[in-house]
Structure 1
Amino acid sequence: MEAKYVNESRSVKSAHVLPPDTNHHGTMFGGKLMSYIDDIAAIAANRHARKPCVTASTDSVDFLIPIKEGSSVCLEAFVTYAHNTSMEVFVKVITEDLITGKRELCTTSFLTFVALDENGKPSKVPNVIPQSEEEKMLHESAPDRREARRLRRVDSKRFAEIFTVKKPWE
């Protein structure tokens, strides 16, 4: 399987932040933005794998500054790293004041997706070739994030056993 350049997965989405998208503070609902993040990340993962992909985890969503009603958000996603059947996708969100033109990085996120074959089973994906300094930095630091995900997953499985609701007769 031939490796792919990061730019082959790069995906961009913009949206106007309207009143229904905001909370009582006049800022964008975090959950609404998280939905946009998952959507654009899924497109990037599908572009890289050219197969159906599912979200395996949302590693982090860091809200750096509030996004105000009336502004816009521009999301950019790309695959930073691939390992067998999984892909790490980085998403950055820029907010723009549409009146002044001021743009600021407001959110960053890392998600993991798994590619699926025609039977819904995990399927191999191409490796990633980073080119820019940003891409190289994210690619080189990806194995550390992958290990942190692995450890977190061990905890999650343990929590699932502890917190699973037992039937009274068990």
Structure 2
Amino acid sequence: MYKANKIKDSLRMSYTISKSGSVTPSSKRLALKMISQIDFNKTKLIVELGAGNGCITKYILQKMSKDSILIVFEVDPKMIEILKGIEDHRLIVVNDSAENITTHITKAGKTKADAIISCLPITILPKNLVNNILQKCTEVLGDTGRYVQFQYSPRTFKMLKKYFDILRKDLVLMNIPPAFVMHCSVKKDI
């Protein structure tokens, strides 16, 4: 019985990691570091990619102005239900791939995002999917827009440098596992 439960737990954990890239929700410290460089007085549209259970979403909503919009992308049906449980008129929950960011920004009546907060596990997603998502992000970010990405591996830096100038890198040790946070702006010479 013990062996069977251990195998089930291992399979469940493998599934969780392959879907979300993590075994635990983001810590408060990681969430606060992710949004620390965003000027919420100037942001009217924020997009969160891979919102999961809404851990970071809730901190974004706390900081946003009353007339701002937050569009969150998530593909896991269980997480979508959790996100839909967050009651805030400024929140738009999208059950779709981040590849379709342009479509959903247009549906919200906007053309550019002021900030994109990405929790996508880009080191484990297919490379062509990641490149497509990052390219779309550069197209929808305004001139002064910020792209923020967290990952558990520094391998992400090289991927991001193709599309963005990394303005700041932080290591959040008070997270399981510790995570890197990159604050970026769109490269001017793409």
Normalising by the smaller structure, the TM-score range is under 0.3
TM-score normalised by structure 2 residue count:
0.23
Query: Whose relative contact order is higher, 1 or 2, with alpha carbons under 8 Å and at least 6 apart?
Result: 1
TM-score normalised by structure 1 residue count:
0.24
Write 1 or 2 for the structure with the bigger share of helix: 2
